[in-house]
Amino acid sequence: MNAATQPRPQAPRDEAYNFAYLDEQTKRMIRRGLLKAVAIPGYQVPFGGREMPLPYGWGTGGMQLTAAILGAEDVLKVIDQGADDTTNAVSIRRFFARTAGVATTERTPEATIIQTRHRIPETPLHADQIMVYQVPIPEPLRFIEPSETETRTMHALNDYGVMHVKLYEDIATFGHIATAYAYPVTVDERYVMDPSPIPKFDNPKLDMSPALMLFGAGREKRLYAVPPFTRVTSLDFEDHPFDVQKWEHNCAICGSHESFLDELILDDQGTQSFVCSDTDYCAQRVSQGRAVQ
Amino acid sequence: MSTSLATESLPASLLQPAFADPVLDAQRSFRAALKALAGPGVAQSLLATQTPPHLEGLAAASHALCLALLDIDTPLWLAPKFDTQAIRANLTFHCGCPIVSDRQNARFALLDDSQLHDLSGFDLGNDRYPDQSCTLLVQLPSLQGGTQLAWRGPGIESKNHVSLPLQEAFWQERESRNDFPRGIDVFFVAGSELLGLPRSTQVAFKPQTSKGAA
């Protein structure tokens, strides 16, 4: 199931493209945006998103950020829902191996840049790593207020009461906060931010992380950032404090009880099995002899 | 807006090469700037092999940041010290950036330490678009030697002690213009080193005895 986990050596770059595909002026525009995003944690910087050679929704925002920051010495890891071996992850990894000739890896600690769709790795990140998140809808207020003019004013005025109303409606309907992914957070006590559709299980990993977090939305043409060691708090209520998902099961492959588990349906009778969503974490535990049985 | 793109009037003999590898050297300079801004107060160094050839009046890191970040979309304001024919000719040629005489129109500004008591006129962005503010590149003789101050905020685990050689007037000026999310972001540059000071960083510059901590 898991392919070789050693870093893949640098392949020769396809000289038909500029390094990492994007032209230099586009990279400069994105880079200036990234500097402002880091200076204003959680604020959404508009940028002139380019058309990428794949459709919106496949990570065009994340790819543009990766292209703008990527250098020849970087080691790139790409995950999709935690897995290194899914279509989206494999294609994006191959894209940058071809256009930038960079080394790629599936090992979290070896990567300098990790582009991700919908997960943060289980293995703790370190200070020399940059996480790049693919974001479908960057505006946390969008489902409540469809107008960009209005949401921008709400951010400007620090007017986020409506966000709590949404969470309260969850409690009124279901008895608990039913939002399980893209759970809104407050960054450094100012901007309310959509952490991208990561499960709320991963929200605590954003708080005071030693790694720099960059978020890119290609269709919406917004980028934002959480610098290292920044306070990121999930919205909640005193009597309904924020809580992460828990499972009664262990991973069927590595036996982990700490990681985020995916449910697998094995047959027509609905027999369930649970496995780690982070394939590298799972494979490492197996290689350390933690396999079940 | 008085823009000058009059490269024709400047002799071509002033022109000199920029980055040896325009793509990767610009990327390395940008990553140093990103790291500096994401870790305020910690100096980042550029390797000699990644910086452009010496341009009279500009530190290696100032020159590298200009080449990495400026282009036709970024009007640049030059402090009088940097407003030389050689700097004008090379930056307009290699970056294509308009050089403006009006601080309000600048997206980037290149300053020396004689300018730091007055930061008026620079765009601080607005509450809806705080990212539209001007970024200051401040060239100093050194990044050390001043009063040690404690910096806190995003990018800093607990606090960083930084002793930039700056007068208190600069810190007062910065505080009076920082109205988060509006504000100014600064890169301090000396030689081939750079150090970031984003608007989000809180600097305790006042003596403990005075009322109202920063």
CB contacts of B73 in chain A (<8 Å) are 29
Provide the pLDDT for residue A7.
Answer: 66
Q: Report the catalytic residues of A.
A: 42, 251, 254, 276, 282
CB contacts of B180 in chain A (<8 Å) are 40, 190
Task: Find the domain containing B114 and state its range.
Answer: 20-204
> Hey, are the CB atoms on B23 and A19 less than 8 Å from each other?
yes
**Residue at B169 is within a domain:** yes
**Which of the four pLDDT bands, split at 50, 70 and 90, describes residue B9?**
low
Provide the pLDDT for residue B207.
Answer: 59
> Hey, are the CB atoms on B154 and A227 less than 8 Å from each other?
yes
**Residue at B32 is within a domain:** yes
Query: Over 70: is that where the pLDDT of B116 sits?
Result: yes
Helix A24-39 and helix A60-69, axial crossing angle in degrees, nearest 10: 100
| Min distance B140 CA to chain A CA atoms (Å) | 21
> Hey, are the CB atoms on A35 and B185 less than 8 Å from each other?
yes
> Hey, are the CB atoms on A31 and B71 less than 8 Å from each other?
no
Region A185-190 average pLDDT? 98
Point out the residue among B26, B131, B155 whose CB comes nearest to the CB of A40: B131
For chain B, what is the domain count? 1
Taking all residues of chain B, what is their mean pLDDT, rounded to a whole number? Answer: 93
CATH code (residue B148): 3.40.50.11310
All residues at 6 or more sequence positions from B85 whose CB lies less than 8 Å from its CB, including other chains: B10, B11, B14
CB contacts of B135 in chain A (<8 Å) are 32, 35-36
Percent of chain A with pLDDT over 90: 94
Domain boundaries, chain A: 1-245, 246-293
> Hey, are the CB atoms on B23 and A39 less than 8 Å from each other?
no
> Hey, are the CB atoms on B155 and A28 less than 8 Å from each other?
no
User: Using alpha carbons only, what angle is made at residue B138 by residues B207 and B57, rounded to the nearest 5 degrees?
Assistant: 140
Provide the pLDDT for residue B1.
Answer: 46
- The span from the CA of B90 to the CA of B14, in Å, is 7
Provide the pLDDT for residue A150.
Answer: 97
Chain A and chain B share a number of CB contacts under 8 A equal to 114
| Min distance A285 CA to chain B CA atoms (Å) | 30
- The span from the CA of A38 to the CA of A213, in Å, is 9
Point out the residue among B126, B131, B198 whose CB comes nearest to the CB of A45: B131
> What global pTM score does this model have?
0.94
**Residue at B188 is within a domain:** yes
**Residue at B179 is within a domain:** yes
Q: Using a CB–CB cutoff of 8 Å, tell me whether B179 touches chain A.
A: no
Q: ipTM score of the complex?
A: 0.94
> Hey, are the CB atoms on B157 and A208 less than 8 Å from each other?
yes
Enter the tokens of residue A210. Answer: 């030693």
Enter the tokens of residue A243. Answer: 């809580």
| Min distance A104 CA to chain B CA atoms (Å) | 18
Cα separations in angstroms, A148 against A154, A155, B128, B181: 10, 10, 11, 18
- The span from the CA of A209 to the CA of B157, in Å, is 9
B59-80: pLDDT as tens digits = 999 999 999 999 999 999 999 9
**Residue at B14 is within a domain:** no
CB contacts of A25 in chain B (<8 Å) are 71-72
A247-288: pLDDT as tens digits = 999 999 999 999 999 999 999 999 999 999 999 999 999 999
CB contacts of B200 in chain A (<8 Å) are 39-41, 188, 227
Answer yes or no: CATH 3.90.245.10 is held by domain A1-245: no
Point out the residue among B24, B34, B153 whose CB comes nearest to the CB of A34: B34
**Residue at B92 is within a domain:** yes
CB contacts of A232 in chain B (<8 Å) are none
**Residue at B10 is within a domain:** no
Preferred mutation among A28, A147, A226 to probe B, highest tally of B CBs within 10 A: A28
B166-178: pLDDT as tens digits = 999 999 999 999 9
- Strands, E assignment, chain A: 45-46, 75-80, 103-104, 113-117, 130-134, 185-187, 191-193, 212-217, 222-226, 232-234, 261-265, 272-276
> Hey, are the CB atoms on A69 and B30 less than 8 Å from each other?
yes
**Which of the four pLDDT bands, split at 50, 70 and 90, describes residue B124?**
very high
CB contacts of B155 in chain A (<8 Å) are 38, 227-230
All residues at 6 or more sequence positions from A266 whose CB lies less than 8 Å from its CB, including other chains: A272, A273
Bond into A195 cis (ω within 30)? no
**Residue at B44 is within a domain:** yes
Point out the residue among B22, B74, B199 whose CB comes nearest to the CB of A39: B199
| Min distance B12 CA to chain A CA atoms (Å) | 24
Centroid of chain to Cα A137: 13
The alpha helices in chain A, defined as continuous H runs, are: 24-39, 60-69, 87-100, 148-156, 161-174, 203-206, 279-285
> Hey, are the CB atoms on A43 and B199 less than 8 Å from each other?
no
All residues at 6 or more sequence positions from B40 whose CB lies less than 8 Å from its CB, including other chains: B151, B153, B155, B156, B160, B195, B196, B197, B198, B200, B201
Provide the pLDDT for residue A10.
Answer: 65
Cα separations in angstroms, A133 against A44, A71, A81: 14, 18, 11
**Which of the four pLDDT bands, split at 50, 70 and 90, describes residue A114?**
very high
